[in-house]
Structure 1
Amino acid sequence: MSKLLNNRTYIIIGIIVVCLGMAFFVRSCLTKREVTAMVSPLDVELGSPIAYADSTRGADTWYWEFGNGDSSPHQKGEYTYSEAGKYQIRLTVDGSYIKKIVVNVRPKKQDDDEHLIKIEAPKTALQDEYIIFRGEGTSNEWRWEFGETGAVDAKEKTAIYKYSLPGTYEVLLTTEETKYPIRHTIEITPQYSESDSTDIETMIGNDIKLKLQAIVDQKPFNTNYNYIMTSYLCNNPNAQVIVNNSKRNDFYSYCQGLKIIGRKQTIIENVLVELEEDKETCVKKIIVIQTDTN
């Protein structure tokens, strides 16, 4: 009798073990396997590669589809798209487990011209008018020849020059980045009567010139300073002032310097201005030509 009970016990235990095993097997089959894959970066410029890799536990096979017809059977690697656009990458692990990732490929910037040195300057100007010549690009050395003296006239990236005689001049800009000088042709017309000028920047520059000279001459500081601030600088005391193409100050500090100039006699010869692009009455930069004598 005891032997029979033992056999029954073994049978019951066996059935329980088989049921547990089957339950575990069924659960394993029904449980969705998590695919742990990565693609980086998800936003990339055309011509730059993306990196892809999968670390799904226990995986044996991989099939990457890059959304453009190309594919890879490797667990990890790099891929470069040949055209811009949005692509859905699909990874299939062990033939059945899938993960999808979207990548944005941006068009490549057209930056070929960014490295070129250029001259920004007017094509025409007036005799004895101060002209701003700007160099565009990156260089440690700038050498300007304005065609009137036959020599190097300035060595700054932004230069100011006035022609004493009318005519057509070829401006040469030499830098350490250029094999040959950059050329710009400018036509200088005969001197004009200031009363005929209707250029808004010229009018503003002349008005600021008078107020700055008044500060130098020890006339009421606040009256002249506040006039320029409210009329032209949109109440920005930090507007940039460039003096004689070399020294720089914020507007407030510059005016305070004029006020306490001391033993020197300063003459404001000319003032040029640059206006904000979206605010025609707001000056963002003041360029002053002045002479200081003891």
Structure 2
Amino acid sequence: MPKLFNHRIYVVIIAIVIILAISFLVRHYTSTREIHAYVGPLDIEVGVPVSFADSTTGADHWLWEFGNGDTSPEQRAQYIFSETGKYQIRLTVNGELEKRFIVNVRPTKKDDDLQLIKIIAPQSALQGEFIIFRGEGTSKEWRWEFGETGKVDAHEKTAIYQYNEPGSYEIALRTEETKYPIIHTIEIIPQYMDNDSTDVATIIGNDIKEKLQAIVDQKPFNTNYNYVMSTYLCNNPNTLVIINNSKKNDFYSYCQGLKIIGRKRTIIEKVLIDIEESQSCINKLIVIQTDIN
């Protein structure tokens, strides 16, 4: 009888040890599933370093991706962005856990103060064509008069306008930083005139339009999304998308939205692209779309 009693005690002790060991392993495994990392400051001027560090339990491999093609395998260090813009920093720990941070890189105040307001727009366009007008410089207010309606037509830094009648128009841009309006002249060519030239921007816009419509139509999301990302956006998911000249999203969120609203009926009417002269990647998409409930 005593031997049987002792045997039972041993069994109970062993069971308790096993339960405690399993509990410890579960807690340890669970604790390593959450990334403990820091990136800051998240709003900086060009040339100011961003500090990044990770203290995730059990981590022994790090990959920091800075949203512009640069990477770092360091656990903690600093990084300096050389150009303005919004960047998504992605940290991958041990090859499987991910965490993302958004950093806004602003121009230096000195550069802002010296930068003149300019109009970036074509010298000519077709009647009925959607035209991008981009203000260059820093101002809180933007007032565009495109010369056709006799009134202020837009209040965004980047505006889209479509001329109904051909002719020569004087565009006036007023801001709080300028004493007199900035003037730009554009020639609107009648639709019936021969114009066989198809520029590269139009070809790219039509290609992106096709891929966005494919996402709406519930075709393979990754195939179409990754094509646009790698072909035109330099794999930057934060590329700005302006929808119908009013709403804004980053490219990734916009495409996810198209995937969801695909259950309704959305028509991608036109895609316009915006590329800075000093860059080779598209930094802005302007999408004209119609949503049918």
TM-score (norm 1): 0.55
Secondary structure of the corresponding residue to residue 283 of structure 2: strand
Q: CA deviation at 1:116?
A: 4.0
* Distance change (3 Å), C-alpha of 1:264 and 1:174: farther
* Distance change (3 Å), C-alpha of 1:179 and 1:192: same
- Cα distance in 2 for partners of 1:138, 1:149 equals 26
Mean alpha-carbon deviation: is it higher for 134-143 or for 189-198?
A: 189-198
Aligned residues: 184
Q: Deviations over 1:101-140 (max 9, x none)?
A: xxxxxxxxx9899354332222212222221112233332
> Is residue 152 of structure 2 the alignment partner of residue 156 of structure 1?
no
| 1:286 corresponding residue in structure 2 | 285
User: What code does the residue aligned with 1:249 have?
Assistant: N
| 2:181 corresponding residue in structure 1 | 181
Larger Cα Rg: Structure 1 or Structure 2? 1
Gaps of 5+ in 1: 1-109
Q: CA deviation at 1:169?
A: 0.5
Gaps of 5+ in 2: 1-109
- Cα distance in 1 for partners of 2:194, 2:216 equals 23
User: What code does the residue aligned with 2:265 have?
Assistant: Q
Whether the 8 Å CA contact 1:126–1:192 is kept in 2: the answer is: no
| 2:253 corresponding residue in structure 1 | 253
User: What code does the residue aligned with 1:225 have?
Assistant: Y
- Cα distance in 1 for partners of 2:258, 2:133 equals 26
- Cα distance in 2 for partners of 1:112, 1:241 equals 24
Q: Deviations over 1:159-193 (max 9, x none)?
A: 11121221101111222333433221111112379
- Cα distance in 2 for partners of 1:246, 1:118 equals 21
Whether the 8 Å CA contact 1:233–1:283 is kept in 2: the answer is: yes
- Cα distance in 2 for partners of 1:112, 1:278 equals 18
RMSD over aligned CA atoms reads 2.9
* Distance change (3 Å), C-alpha of 1:177 and 1:235: closer
- Cα distance in 1 for partners of 2:122, 2:263 equals 38
- Cα distance in 1 for partners of 2:292, 2:112 equals 48
Secondary structure of the corresponding residue to residue 210 of structure 1: helix
* Distance change (3 Å), C-alpha of 1:117 and 1:238: closer
TM-score (norm 2): 0.55
User: What code does the residue aligned with 2:181 have?
Assistant: P
- Cα distance in 2 for partners of 1:193, 1:237 equals 39
User: What code does the residue aligned with 1:201 have?
Assistant: A
* Distance change (3 Å), C-alpha of 1:235 and 1:141: closer
Q: CA deviation at 1:277?
A: 4.9
Taking every aligned residue pair, what percent have the same amino acid on both sides?
Answer: 75
